[in-house]
Structures are given as structure tokens and as C-alpha cells.
């Protein structure tokens, strides 16, 4: 017969083991599911800009097809504008990573903001679902300008020796980075003139207050009769402007654009991320969706979450080099 003390200890050990088994059975593993049944309730969509803006308009097109591919559950829009999108992007990054908060993101906005000394989030605080828009940038002059080609533009810039005025939207922005990159590639200097938005920039060019500007395709399409597009910073010519050559055609390795996509906070269940990626791929390949995007002037360009992430990583590294070279963080 065992001593009473031994028997008591053995009983306690057995009880603890039994309790552990029971508790383990009650606890569900975190971030391990197959995504089945997702979503089973409305999904919140954070838009980092005001209602009615380009980001909102594009997201509303997605909303029309969301239910079709996501269990007939609705999207609940929540607008968090401020600081060029930083307020809303921060909300996305800090949201509960359960798949029930997704956000519209603008690139390179989120990348440049994450590099700022005032950053409130990091590049890796997001998991990207898909890219939905690629809005290439162009060098544009007034239709009345004597500058008729990119070569004319370069010659005039050299002649003015740093005094050629080129409009951009904001500083420490995609337009700003594009102009700095273009300076390096063309071997000339420009006098950057920042504006609060594309509307102000367009008015300045129409009024002859600046020599040229960097404009987004979506923003300049309504001015095709008043503006002359010298070159587009895309890989290939765009079917909306088939007569406008690319920089690459003209001998300059320069691409630049604004991209829109959708993302979730880091640490979201990988199975839910995959479910979201599959659903967005279906939406972005839906012929009716593509037709609507064409009608509203949104340059639809799908990239998978994986490919969108690769692009973001590449841009981030290039932007860091430009920011360091021009010491932009010391000026902001």
C-alpha cells in the first residue's frame, strides 16, 4: 500500500491534468481557421478621405459587388479623413485583426507617411488584400505652351536652370517623389510649386501660372482639350490616351503612379486574408464591375495581395533613398 502522502499527491496531479485537458478543449486556437463562413456579419470599411472623393467613389463600386462574393453581407462605410489620409490609415492599422475591419489604402501615401518622423503606423502594420487601381502620372503643359514634346520640356528646363515651375500636389507626396526622381533621370532641376489638391493645380496650369505639372491620369482626363500631355509614366501606353508616348519609349526609365487597394491590420487570420483575396479577385474580374470602373474614369488594374505587397516593398526602399538624398525628413 502506498503512503497517504503519495496517494494525495498523485490525486492532485491527476486532477490538474484533467483540468488542463478540459480547459484546452474550451480554448480556440488564435488565427487558425479555414475561413469558412466568413463573413457572417457586416464588415466595416474605413475610407481615409472624405465622402465623394476618388477613393470613396471607387469603393462604392466595390460595394455593389461585395455581397455577391461575400455571403450577402453588407459593407458598412466609415469615413476617417484627415492629415492626407494618415488619420484613417492609422485607424486601419490599429483595428481589431478579426477580418471585420478592412480599409481602403492609397500608395504611396501610406508608405511615405510611415517614413515620416511623425509616423503613427509602420509599413508592416498592414496586410494587403488587393490592388484595384493604378493611376499613372504624366508631365503636362498648357495647350498654348510652346513646349510640344518631352525633349522641348527638357531643353526649356535646362535653359531656365532650375527656375522652370512644375506644379505638384503637396510635399512629401507621390507627386513630390516623382518630380525628384524625374530630376535625377533627366539630369535637370525644377522649381517645385506645391498645391493643396489637383483642382488648384489644374487651375494654375490653365491660367499660365506654372510652366508644367505632374498630373494623375484620372485628374486630367476632363482637360484633354486644354492640356498637352507630353509623356505618361506607365509601362505601356494607356488606351484612354493612345497618342501619348511613355517615358520608356522616349528613352527614359521612369514610371510613377498612384495606386489604390484594400488592406487589413497585421495579424489578421491568414485564412480570412486568403478568403478576402479570393473574393476581391472575383470582384476585380467581374465584367460589370470593370465596365462601371471605365464609366467613372477609374483606371482599373488588379494586383493580387502578394504582388501588391511586393510593389509596396520596392517603392518603400526607393522612396527611402530619395528622402535621404534630399534630406526631406530634416525639412518636415
What confidence score (pLDDT) does residue 26 get? 41
Cite the residue boundaries of each domain of the chain with CATH code 3.40.190.150. 43-134+258-326
Residue with cell 528613352: 251
Residue with cell 480570412: 272
DSSP-derived 3-state class of residue 170: coil
What confidence score (pLDDT) does residue 33 get? 53
List per-residue pLDDT tens for the chain, 332 residues long.
444 444 444 454 444 444 444 444 443 343 445 678 999 999 999 999 999 988 999 999 999 999 999 999 999 999 999 999 999 999 999 999 999 999 999 999 999 999 999 999 999 999 999 999 999 999 999 999 999 999 999 999 999 999 999 999 998 899 999 999 999 999 999 999 999 889 999 999 999 999 999 999 999 998 999 999 999 999 999 999 999 999 999 999 999 999 999 999 999 999 999 999 999 999 999 999 999 999 999 999 999 999 999 999 999 999 999 999 999 987 54
Angstrom distances, CA of residue 260 to CA of 54, 126, 130, 222, 268: 10, 14, 9, 20, 20
CATH code at 43-134+258-326: 3.40.190.150
- DSSP code for 85: G
Closest CA to 304 of 271, 269, 280, 268: 280
Handedness of CA 283, 287, 290, 292 (dihedral sign): negative
Which CATH number fits the domain 136-250, given the four candidates 3.40.190.10, 3.40.50.1820, 1.10.10.10, 3.30.479.30?
A: 3.40.190.10
Closest CA to 240 of 286, 152, 300, 174: 300
DSSP-derived 3-state class of residue 328: helix
Residues 6+ apart with CB under 8 A from 248: 235, 254, 255
The Cα–Cα gap between 87 and 89 comes to 6
What confidence score (pLDDT) does residue 34 get? 62
What confidence score (pLDDT) does residue 141 get? 98
Cite the residue boundaries of each domain of the chain with CATH code 3.40.190.10. 136-250
Give the number of C-alpha atoms closer than 13 A to the C-alpha of residue 35, restricted to the C-beta side: 15
What confidence score (pLDDT) does residue 35 get? 74
Q: Between vectors from CA 52 to CA 105 and to CA 141, what angle results, nearest 5°?
A: 80
What confidence score (pLDDT) does residue 36 get? 80
Amino acid at each position: 500500500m502506498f503512503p497517504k502522502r503519495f496517494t494525495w499527491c498523485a490525486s492532485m496531479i491527476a486532477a490538474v491534468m484533467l483540468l488542463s485537458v478540459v480547459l484546452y478543449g474550451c480554448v480556440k486556437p488564435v488565427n487558425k481557421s479555414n475561413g469558412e463562413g466568413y463573413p457572417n456579419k457586416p464588415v466595416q470599411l474605413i475610407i481615409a478621405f472624405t465622402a465623394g472623393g476618388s477613393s470613396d467613389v471607387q469603393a462604392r463600386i466595390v460595394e455593389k459587388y461585395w455581397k455577391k462574393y461575400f455571403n450577402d453581407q453588407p459593407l458598412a462605410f466609415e469615413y476617417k479623413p484627415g492629415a492626407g489620409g494618415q488619420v484613417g490609415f492609422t485607424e486601419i492599422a490599429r483595428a481589431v485583426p478579426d477580418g471585420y475591419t478592412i480599409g481602403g489604402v492609397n500608395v504611396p501615401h501610406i508608405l511615405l507617411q510611415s517614413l515620416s518622423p511623425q509616423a503613427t503606423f509602420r509599413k508592416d502594420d498592414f496586410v494587403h488584400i488587393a490592388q484595384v487601381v493604378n493611376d499613372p502620372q504624366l508631365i503636362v503643359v498648357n495647350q498654348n505652351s510652346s513646349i510640344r514634346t518631352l525633349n522641348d520640356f527638357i531643353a526649356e528646363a535646362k535653359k531656365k536652370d532650375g527656375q522652370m515651375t512644375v506644379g505638384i500636389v503637396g510635399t512629401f507626396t507621390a507627386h513630390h517623389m516623382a518630380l525628384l526622381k524625374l530630376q535625377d533621370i533627366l539630369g535637370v532641376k525644377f522649381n517645385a510649386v506645391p498645391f493643396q489638391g489637383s483642382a488648384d493645380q489644374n487651375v494654375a496650369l490653365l491660367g499660365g501660372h506654372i510652366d508644367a505639372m505632374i498630373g494623375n491620369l484620372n485628374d486630367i482626363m476632363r482637360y484633354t482639350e486644354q492640356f498637352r500631355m507630353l509623356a505618361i509614366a506607365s509601362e505601356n501606353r494607356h488606351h484612354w490616351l493612345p497618342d501619348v508616348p511613355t517615358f520608356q519609349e522616349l528613352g527614359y526609365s521612369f514610371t510613377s503612379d498612384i495606386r489604390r487597394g484594400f488592406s487589413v491590420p497585421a495579424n489578421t487570420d491568414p485564412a480570412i486574408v486568403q478568403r478576402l483575396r479570393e473574393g476581391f479577385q472575383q470582384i476585380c474580374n467581374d465584367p460589370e464591375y470593370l465596365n462601371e470602373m471605365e464609366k467613372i474614369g477609374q483606371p482599373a488594374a488588379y494586383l493580387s495581395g502578394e504582388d501588391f505587397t511586393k510593389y509596396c516593398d520596392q517603392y518603400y526602399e526607393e522612396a527611402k533613398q530619395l528622402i535621404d538624398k534630399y534630406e526631406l525628413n530634416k525639412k518636415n
